[in-house]
Amino acid sequence: MTKQVKQNIAKMDTILSHIGINQDEATGSLISPIHFSTTYQHPEFGKSTGFDYTRTKNPTRTNLEEALAAIEAGQFAIATSSGMAAIVLALEIFPVGSKIVASRDLYGGSFRWFNDQQKRGIFDFTYVVTEADMLAAITPETDIVYIETPTNPLMIEVDIAKVSQKAHENGAKVIVDNTFYTPIYQQPLVLGADIVVHSATKYLAGHNDVLAGAVIVKEQDLYNQLIYNLNTTGPVLSPFDSYLVMRGLKTLALRMRQATVNANQVADFLRQHSAVKEVLYTGLGGMIAFKVHEQDKIPTLINTLKVITFAESLGGVESLITYPTTQTHADIPAEVRASYGLTDDLLRLSIGIEDANDLIDDLANALKV
């Protein structure tokens, strides 16, 4: 683990553990109250408490948004009803016809929406695999650069600072999906990105019990456009779900550290196993992809696992295994997946906080089949 990563975690711990504290002056409640009201009484004609209607603004959601902005080193944050809602909200502030350079390897849901926009002539996407390809693809005609780093599921990393510099030199904005690393291991706004998006369903909430997303920015102008679109289209996060994300955030650093410790041990085991062809892991976070020699044994392998659960999603305290070909990336045509290395012999692991030896024993037993 790098010195910079250790410093980021140290700065983050107190912010995370104190989320919600000192937010309720009326009662001194230690935990942020859940405000279920959809509408708010005006003190008198022409005056407002600052809250009028929950689609526009809600006290519980505001507390969460302040926390999200703080941990991503932003000025403003918006909590949305899902990760995809966050991505759509971020991109829809840009005009029709915008030219976008995007990671080729990316979440299947993102691809599905991107592909629909391309077909309808809303946006024009150019896809790239490597960082070098991305830098080469950025021109004065580029409006947006969309990055997943590391990518889902091939774990390809991109130098955000380098790409942001090239993008800004050409007048483009940079959007980074920071779901995999979270601000514990990466703060894209600090590195030069303009907009950060999250599927908060994953590591930020961390317990597989809430669907949520987030958009974080530094610039007032970007925030104004985002909040206008949010109020107009309404993909807001509910008060109760806002509370759940805040509850999860309090242990984010602890969970990410343990997931990293476990994932490193699991990755080392997989690299040494004769049934495994290739292991894709960056050394940080809980996400691992690996390819097996005998693809036809994948269903049996999955069915044999007892500790690791076969399910979509990622980032929870429980370890999950996913087969992207039939699950998360099924909407991407097979020939497109194969063209950039997402082959049918690949499995994706989201490593949780269980005992690492239990996870390794479970995989060892399944890989024997």
State yes or no: is 202 an active-site residue.
Answer: yes
Active-site pick, 57, 61, 104, 107: 107
For residue 77, count CB atoms less than 10 angstroms from its CB and return exposed for 0-12, middle for 13-18, buried for 19 or more.
buried
Q: How far apart are the first and last CA of the chain?
A: 35
State yes or no: is 107 an active-site residue.
Answer: yes
Active-site pick, 61, 166, 202, 247: 202
As given in the structure block, the two tokens for residue 221 are 């102008």
Residue 47: helix, strand or coil by DSSP?
coil
Nearest alpha carbon to residue 236 among 69, 80, 61: 80
What is the full DSSP assignment across 172-240? -EEEEE-TTTHHHH--TTTTT-SEEEE-TTTTTT-SS----EEEEES-HHHHHHHHHHHHHH--BPPHH
Active-site pick, 177, 194, 241, 362: 177
CA–CA separation, 258 vs 52, rounded Å? 42
User: What does DSSP assign to residue 342?
Assistant: -
CB 206 within 8 A of CB 248: yes
Side-chain half-sphere of 134: how many Cα atoms within 13 Å?
Answer: 29
CA–CA separation, 238 vs 54, rounded Å? 9
CA–CA separation, 295 vs 297, rounded Å? 5
Residue 277: other Cβ atoms inside 10 A:
15
State yes or no: is 177 an active-site residue.
Answer: yes
Active-site pick, 24, 40, 55, 133: 55
User: 290 forms bridges with which residues in the sheet?
Assistant: 279, 347
State yes or no: is 55 an active-site residue.
Answer: yes
CA–CA separation, 363 vs 351, rounded Å? 12
Catalytic residues: 55, 107, 177, 202
